[in-house]
Chains A and B, each alone.
Chain A
């Protein structure tokens, strides 16, 4: 048992405050304390990207961050991004191209893609490079690259 700390942050547009164990990582806090199970845990050592969420608009590994470190930040999970239609174009293209099989990596992949598309209009090679921190065992990646590329090609006011 480690010591308890107060933590308060904005989660999917709403304030959250809790008292958490110092050792609790953010992914476990989101999943098991708050019940936001759309964030998945694949390795808990920062390689697979299944737990990627958005913090201050950047894609972040929630397994490599302690819940206490989230204090004061603005966090969005797949649930929040979906709710405010922030990644609707991406989700539509992923579904249309079957860019997911088991779907376990998908929320993390979408966080990576959302950050990438907010930053630039990436080429295929840049999409593959950006995805190098997201492990997908099922698809072979090509349909994921296709889907992100399709959104990147949308007119600027349409892209997510």
Chain B
């Protein structure tokens, strides 16, 4: 018999992993349908160019070609769109079309679509399309975009400025005046991109008779996309179904409505044949959303004990050519400012963010949005202050942690902090690292000219974000997560969730929650997700919400269903409902003796309800939805530690060890949690050491392949040791906080502080992420 108390918290493997490890995943490109046609896009080779005449005569005549379509052709059936954020009205780019019309604004923007019987034939025909391009001046960097008399990235705009935001708290000037020590640092964050191993893929089918559109979409938020497809293609919402089958990684990159994907849906409607588009890796680099590009200047004032007095940050962010739709591109810079010093007590702050449009791929959401920047700036400045005051880096953090263990507080940038466990995480991490021994060893090795560094990064992770983020912006993004839970005729439980999965394993967490709450074996729970026709309305996967919000909805629905099952059972058994419980799928009495199976209750209610002596039959199909409505989000926290060795002759950096102590609240499944943390950490290490979309001054992407864009591989990555502190959040009954972004929020910062600790005897610091050997050597040489 199952100990029903132990299902939550179990290291339960994912049922779907068996299928995936056998190569039986079903990703969008694996799906084939009759009469399927394939799409290839002609993309602008220029960062900025006027589109003149398009001659597709030869392409239309090429083998296998079904249609050659331009922006003007699609404009007839697909409305343009434009991101509006009500609270940031200046964050606006011109209306966007599925295929560019008149003007291409980044290298890689789709301009012409060829539809053919095979992808190869479509690509062949693309080469026959003639476009009369007129190159226009291109804006590469935010600095160039900001300069006086700069050309505009899009001729329909009057300026490149897309965000101007300031915040001031307390008396920063006074605090800087009175400080014992002021440190400052410049930071450059390279442009990154998601590099999901499964590229963006979409298959669209349109039934002309029924005017019904079905889209299989490698995406995180099918409900959002359903509404967008319906609105832009002028179809009733009821006539659109979006299915997200197995998705090969997403990380925020698959949250936007991409113009080329809109073109695929529009083409299905236009030509009345099923069409598929699968981005190849080269076009992924120039058409997936990018993220992170920012320059930051940070200043920090502390007193003689290292207590924080004031902080100032100035963030300049590069948006690319258009705002991402519908969520915008301002989040990175806004979070970079507002999450400053979030784990620490601080009263005085000034933040300024600007964002500029440029002729580069549009930027959008990438795991942790802006929080890695805020964390890096804060942690690096803290280390500089500690060094000046000769205080140990661990000690200066310990002295400054905000006390939000019991009562809720706001960080200086306004972020809600509640039930934090920073001190406990701190103690746990130092023990895990054997911190004092590492410091001793570091000193010994330095005398032999071996440069090892120890880096720390405390972090706050905003999780389970509620409607207060997009609601006030009047952006139609659902923050509610829903669960529909049903007793099946065989006594099993079907759980249809609005949560989607791209590998996180949330369905398994939901199985555990439902099994425990109802009282059945996990194998008796069926999960349905990723299909707007079969699941309740809700957000999907964004902002670390799967277990925290989707899990809470599942818990609430399970409890109600259980009550109703027991009520029916008690009637059938002529017993008090309070004297019965459900264990391992059976109704048992107070003595623990089995009275009947859940399948018997189901059969009675579903097939012989006339025999149940109740005026109203309790529902065996329950829907619950949940969002944090009285708080903006839940908060997770932790601290990460990195140990690196820098070779000052070669400029290379080796990551020797990595540790993290974190608190994601109640842990549903440690296997899933640890995977989220490790994967997130490695993405942060990748940001600090390897990843960058390198653009020339002419705004051409120079490294758009996996050969040239470096990602973390197994050989360079360390084992990552994890310690958990478990403080269940009071915001939900379940108590899970969310963990999807924790690793990424702080990992790059831990590498920054570790590398700069390692080279501190050389009197220099690194300032530009990723830390290429060239950058390390330049910084060392500049000091000599």
Contacts and interface: CB of A to CB of B under 8 A. Distances in A.
Given A91-B18, A98-B671, 11 more contacts: A37-B26, A40-B248, A43-B705, A79-B22, A96-B13, A98-B13, A101-B505, A103-B20, A103-B248, A139-B675, A140-B717
A73 B26 CA distance: 28
Q: How large is the interface on B (under 10, 10 to 19, 20 to 34, 35 or more residues)?
A: 35 or more
A69 interface: no
Interface string B280-320: 11000000000000000000000000000000000000000
A102 B281 contact: no
Contact of B23 (A107, A137, A143): A107
B719 A94 contact: no
Contacts of B197: 40, 42, 48, 50, 102, 104-105, 135-138
A105 B711 CA distance: 14
Contact of B503 (A45, A94, A101): A101
A42 B682 CA distance: 19
A145 B719 CA distance: 9
A129 to B, nearest CB: 5
B711 A38 contact: no
B713 A132 contact: yes
A48 B706 contact: yes
B714 interface: yes
Given A45-B705, A82-B23, A103-B21, A137 B249 contact: yes
Contact of B21 (A42, A106, A141, A142): A106
A100 interface: yes
A154 to B, nearest CB: 17
B582 to A, nearest CB: 28
Interface string B494-515: 0000000011110000000000
A118 to B, nearest CB: 18
Nearest to A83: B22
Contacts of A97: 671
A151 to B, nearest CB: 13
B675 A104 contact: no
B251 interface: yes
Interface in B709-755: 711, 713-715, 717, 719-720, 743
B268 to A, nearest CB: 20
Pick the 10 closest A-B CB pairs, nearest first. A38-B23, A103-B20, A101-B503, A78-B23, A102-B503, A104-B248, A140-B678, A131-B714, A37-B30, A140-B682
Given A1-B124, A48-B706, A104 B249 contact: yes
B54 interface: no
Contact of B675 (A128, A134, A143): A143
B24 interface: yes
Contacts of B714: 127-129, 131-132, 134, 136, 141, 144-145
B720 A94 contact: no
Nearest to B715: A132
Interface of A: 1, 21, 23-24, 31, 35, 37-45, 47-48, 50, 77-79, 82, 91, 94-98, 100-107, 110, 127-129, 131-145
B281 A101 contact: no
A141 B25 contact: no
B23 A101 contact: no
Nearest to B247: A102
A142 B678 CA distance: 8
B120 A21 contact: yes
Contacts of A77: 23
**Which of B20, B23, B715 has the most chain A CB atoms inside 10 A of its CB?**
B23
14 contacts: A38-B24, A42-B197, A42-B281, A43-B706, A82-B22, A98-B672, A102-B20, A104-B198, A105-B197, A132-B715, A138-B249, A138-B675, A140-B680, A140-B682
B681 interface: yes
Contact of A47 (B23, B706, B715): B706
Contacts of A103: 16-17, 20-21, 25, 246, 248, 503
B707 to A, nearest CB: 6
Given A94-B21, A103-B246, A140-B720, A131 B679 contact: no
Contact of B17 (A21, A37, A98, A131): A98
Contacts of B597: none
A27 B197 CA distance: 15
Contacts of B678: 139-140, 142-143
Contacts of A127: 714
Given A98-B672, A101-B675, A138-B503, A40 B27 contact: yes
Interface in B1-37: 13-14, 16-18, 20-27, 29-30, 32
Contacts of B18: 91, 95
B699 interface: no
Contact of B504 (A42, A95, A101): A101
A44 B674 CA distance: 31
A105 B503 CA distance: 11
A20 B683 CA distance: 40
B195 interface: yes
Contacts of B675: 98, 101, 138-140, 143
**Which of B197, B199, B678, B707 has the most chain A CB atoms inside 10 A of its CB?**
B197
Contacts of A96: 13
A37 to B, nearest CB: 4
Given A43-B281, A100-B21, A140 B706 contact: no
Given A104-B27, A104-B249, A137 B195 contact: yes
Contact of A104 (B22, B25, B672, B743): B25
Contacts of B63: 1
B196 interface: yes
Nearest to A46: B707
B20 A100 contact: yes
A31 B27 CA distance: 12
Contacts of B22: 38, 78-79, 82, 91
Contacts of A104: 25, 27, 197-198, 248-249
